Chain A
Amino acid sequence: MQILNVFLVIFLIVAAIMVERTKDLLSAVIIFTSYSLMMALLWLLLRAPDVAMTEAAIGAGITTNLFVVVISRTRRTEK
């Protein structure tokens, strides 16, 4: 199980780098959602299921919806 933790942390680092390198804001939001999903899985491996529930509800659900609403009210690509 130790190597699974290593893969998940590497996934988090790769996802964070991809979020700051994309110019399209919608794809940045989508990659950030996957970052949040993997973070919840990592909380679960750290034996904190309540924090994982909160992260899955707020990080993956509410934050994605709010970001998509903000993108639909403003422009989509970064200058």
Chain B
Amino acid sequence: MTIASFVAMTIFLAVLAFVCIYRAYIGPTAADRVVSINVITTKVTVLIALIAVITDQYMFIDVALIYAMMGFIATLAVSKYIEKGKLY
């Protein structure tokens, strides 16, 4: 697979992030917003991996790992706040 197809996939995923943030903006319940931020986190992790392949710098994969952990922690905190009504 050539580099041009990877670039096309990267741009397509970046455009699809606008749809997710639109759902986070108008979402009626808080659960919609949590799911949309989770989708954006996963999308950006895939984007970082694609950019690591395109630019041929494999140090970027470490950034993707930290990214996935932090997105999970953020999702967990917001979910606990919605469920319990308070955090700590």
Question: Which A residues have a C-beta under 8 Å from some C-beta of B?
Answer: 1, 3-4, 7-8, 11, 14-15, 18, 22, 26-27, 29-31, 33-34, 37-38, 40-41, 44-45, 49, 52-53, 56-57, 60-61, 64-65, 68-69, 71-73
Indicate whether A41 sits within 8 Å of B47 (C-beta atoms), given known contacts A4-B14, A53-B66, A72-B88: yes
Report yes or no: B14 in contact with A7, Cβ–Cβ below 8 A.
yes
How big is chain B's contact interface, by range? 35 or more
Docked-complex contact A60 and B30, CB < 8 angstroms: no
B81 touches A68 (CB 8 A): yes
CB pairs A–B below 8 angstroms (20 shown): A11-B17, A11-B21, A18-B25, A26-B30, A26-B81, A30-B36, A31-B25, A33-B37, A34-B17, A34-B37, A37-B44, A56-B66, A56-B67, A60-B74, A61-B73, A64-B78, A65-B74, A65-B77, A72-B85, A73-B86
Decide: B15 and A7 in contact? CB cutoff 8 A: yes
Given A1-B7, A30-B36, 14 further pairs, Cβ under 8 A = A3-B11, A4-B14, A7-B14, A11-B14, A14-B21, A27-B33, A30-B33, A30-B34, A41-B51, A44-B60, A60-B67, A61-B69, A72-B81, A73-B86
Q: Of all chain A residues, which has the CB nearest B40?
A: A34
Cβ-defined contact, A8 with B14, below 8 A: yes
- Type the 1/0 row for B47-88, where 1 means its CB is closer than 8 Å to any CB of A: 110010010010110110011011101100110010001111
Q: Per a CB cutoff under 8 Å, which of B10, B11, B37, B85 touches A30?
A: B37
